Amino acid sequence: MPTKASKRTARVKPGQREEETLRVLISHKRIRERVRQMAQDIRRDFPNEPMHLVGVLKGSVLFLADLARELGGEVSFDFISVSSYGKGMDSTGEVKMNKDLDVSIEGRSVLVVEDILDTGLTLKYLLRLFEERKPKHLRVAVLLDKVERRIADVKADYTGFVIPNEFVVGYGLDYDERYRNLPDVCVVRLGPRGKTKIEA
Ligand code: IMP
């Protein structure tokens, strides 16, 4: 029989701090199933096309790794790093490039792979940048979409889950670089009363 103390410990996620609470929003099982469906949708649209996946560092890494394996066929990948967020949960509203792609996307069928669409400013910046480079196709796959928060007029072609306006971590997403390794997507809440900053 587990003791009360061991039950409590079992609920604590790896890397979790005392002042933070985590609630599973989307389990790894649901993520796995949805990623498989998304890959099928993408392959239905591009059955024989070599797909060049462009992952937006760092949040998309786990999603891209799973999606690439589900896609099958000819797949290559590259990564770009941009930042729109400072430390913590608040956006600066500005997008800046930290690392560009390694190879040209001209004439390729490009699938931009993003962890989450929030204001949409990052994706807008990326789409403008990539369109100028003349890819054959340019499509977007996002795992999570916080539709309510949108500022920029952008949409993904393939969306995993529409989620409420909560700050989420796990499956690649971080809070101050932590929690990226959680298998589930979780809502993180701060402070003794468990109120998220984003709701304040
Ligand atoms: P956007 O430019 O506002 O759409 O923000 C996109 C980026 O903000 C994502 O790629 C994430 O890195 C980050 N972001 C937005 N919402 C969250 C969240 O709930 N958790 C973790 N990162 C987030």
Q: Tokens for 69?
A: 């394996």
The secondary structure of residue 134, as a DSSP letter, is: -
Q: Point out the ligand 1 atom lying closest to the alpha carbon of residue 91.
A: 3
The closest of 72, 35, 31, 79 to 53, measured between CA atoms, is: 79
Q: 46 in helix, strand or coil?
A: coil
- Among protein residues, the one with the nearest Cα to ligand 1's atom 15 is 118
Residue 100 amino acid letter: D
d(C-alpha 151, C-alpha 45), whole Å: 28
Residues composing the chain? 200
- Among protein residues, the one with the nearest Cα to ligand 1's atom 3 is 119
| C-beta of residue 66 within 8 angstroms of C-beta of residue 33 | no
Predicted model pTM: 0.88
Mean pLDDT, range 168-184, rounded to an integer? 96
Mean pLDDT, range 17-25, rounded to an integer? 88
d(C-alpha 57, C-alpha 143), whole Å: 14
**Pocket perturbation via mutation, ligand 1, pick of 125, 173, 178 by most ligand atoms within 8 A of CB:** 173
pLDDT band at 191 (very low <50, low <70, confident <90, very high): low
pLDDT digit string, tens, across residues 103-114: 999 999 999 999
Residue 192: count of CB within 10 angstroms of its CB: 8
| C-beta of residue 125 within 8 angstroms of C-beta of residue 118 | no
pLDDT digit string, tens, across residues 37-81: 999 999 999 999 999 999 999 999 999 999 999 999 999 999 999
Pocket of ligand 1 (CB under 6 A): 56, 59, 84-85, 91, 114-122, 167-169, 173
Q: Give the pLDDT of residue 44.
A: 97
Q: Give the pLDDT of residue 92.
A: 58
Mean pLDDT of the chain: 88
The answer to whether residue 41 is catalytic is no
Please state whether beta strands 168-169 and 158-162 pair in parallel, antiparallel, or not at all (unpaired). Answer: unpaired
Q: What is the 3-state secondary structure (H, E, C) of 67-82?
A: HHHHHCCCEEEEEEEE
Give the residue with greater pLDDT, 134 vs 199: 134
